[in-house]
């Protein structure tokens, strides 16, 4: 589906009736933005998996932090590449900037609340329980 | 006066970015709104460095570029730990001494720590930050010392030796 999207963007400016005229700049832009968005989605998915797998509250915060730094920023970068030099890009840049300011503040507020409520963090080494163990 | 001018410029940029209409009526509305907001801020007596945290742009930009490289590196470590089948993590709590008494430098430092995946600042104390790290090798004090010096430099505060 991504492939057809890139191709559609590339040949959209081809002249009618003339020979196939590929818009190389559009092709590069579409592929770059697709690559950026897909990498961002990969980071978001890995972060989600981390939230599900990690053992306690504090460690899960780290996985959640991964989604809102690199994941969200890469998706926004992809959208900026797609929209080019327009006003929409400036707005997206503003969104990226605010995300960079607010997400660590929110993470710190949650972690601090848990600490103030005396939630004990699990410290020391941790390995996932083996799946072919006692079946728990 | 200087803070009022900077606040007005920042709000003008924000207005033009978000509105996108360049017809006289809307521009006049924008100018009136900005004037009212600056007047209210001045009346409340909150026109100071905390409301208008202007800093030298090249320093802050180069700091953010360095920080972004650190974020990418730390992301790789966390993603490797999370996706490995046996999920080897070693959560650690570590006290990081603060190298400045300025609020803005402390905020920048703590926010940078939290922004880097794998480390979260849990508690702020007058002379140290309590940091929770996902992996033991992420809690090395030298790395934090480096980040603290750089973040103090980025906001133009002189860091003290720790």
Q: Mean pLDDT, chain B, as a whole number? A: 85
Q: Please give, rounded to a whole number of angstroms, the shortest distance from the CA of B85 to a CA of chain A.
A: 8
By C-alpha distance, the chain A residue nearest B89 is A126
Domain limits at A62?
35-119
Residue A16 lies in a domain: no
Q: Where do the structural domains in chain B lie, given as residue ranges?
A: 2-44, 57-154
By C-alpha distance, the chain A residue nearest B85 is A128
ipTM of predicted complex: 0.80
Residue A130 lies in a domain: no
Burial of B56 (0-12, 13-18, 19+ CB in 10 A): exposed
CA-based diameter of chain B, in Å?
64
- Residues in B closer than 8 angstroms to A43, CB to CB, are 75, 79
Residue A3 lies in a domain: no
pLDDT by residue (tens digit) across B126-155? Answer: 888 888 888 888 778 788 888 888 888 887
Residue A104 lies in a domain: yes
Q: Please give, rounded to a whole number of angstroms, the shortest distance from the CA of B72 to a CA of chain A.
A: 7
Beta carbons of B75 and A66 less than 8 Å apart? yes
- Six token digits for residue B147: 């980040």
pLDDT by residue (tens digit) across B80-134? Answer: 888 888 888 888 888 888 887 788 888 888 888 888 888 888 888 888 888 888 8
Helix, strand or coil, per DSSP, at residue A124? coil
* Residue B131 falls in which region: left (phi positive, over 0), alpha (psi -120 to 50) or beta: beta
- Residues in B closer than 8 angstroms to A103, CB to CB, are 115
| Total structural domains within chain A | 1
A99 phi/psi in degrees, rounded to 5: -60, -40
By C-alpha distance, the chain A residue nearest B79 is A46
Residue A136 lies in a domain: no
């Amino acid at each position: 589906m991504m492939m057809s999207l890139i191709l559609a963007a590339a040949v959209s400016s081809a002249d009618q009736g003339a020979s196939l005229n590929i818009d190389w700049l559009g092709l590069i832009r579409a592929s770059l933005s697709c690559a950026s968005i897909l990498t961002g989605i990969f980071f978001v998915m890995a972060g989600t998996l981390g939230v599900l797998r990690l053992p306690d509250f504090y460690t899960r915060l780290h996985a959640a932090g991964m989604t809102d730094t690199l994941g969200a920023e890469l998706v926004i970068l992809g959208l900026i590449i797609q929209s080019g030099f327009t006003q929409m890009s400036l707005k997206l840049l503003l969104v990226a900037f605010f995300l960079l300011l607010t997400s660590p503040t929110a993470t710190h507020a949650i972690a601090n609340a848990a600490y103030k409520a005396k939630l004990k963090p699990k410290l020391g080494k941790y390995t996932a329980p083996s799946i072919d163990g006692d079946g728990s | 006066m200087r803070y009022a001018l900077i606040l007005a410029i920042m709000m003008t940029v924000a207005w033009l970015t978000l509105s996108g209409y360049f017809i006289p009526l809307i521009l006049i509305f924008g100018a009136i709104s900005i004037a009212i907001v600056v007047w209210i801020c001045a009346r409340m007596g909150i026109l100071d460095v905390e409301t208008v945290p202007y800093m030298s742009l090249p320093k802050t930009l180069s700091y953010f570029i360095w920080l972004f490289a650190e974020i990418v590196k730390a992301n790789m470590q966390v993603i490797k730990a999370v996706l490995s089948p046996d999920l080897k993590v070693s959560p650690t709590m570590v006290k990081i001494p603060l190298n400045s008494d300025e609020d803005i430098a402390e905020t920048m430092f703590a926010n940078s720590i939290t922004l880097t995946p794998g480390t979260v600042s849990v508690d702020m104390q007058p002379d140290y930050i309590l940091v929770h790290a996902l992996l033991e090798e992420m809690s090395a004090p030298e790395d934090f010392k480096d980040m603290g010096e750089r973040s103090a430099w980025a906001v133009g505060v002189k860091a003290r030796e720790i």
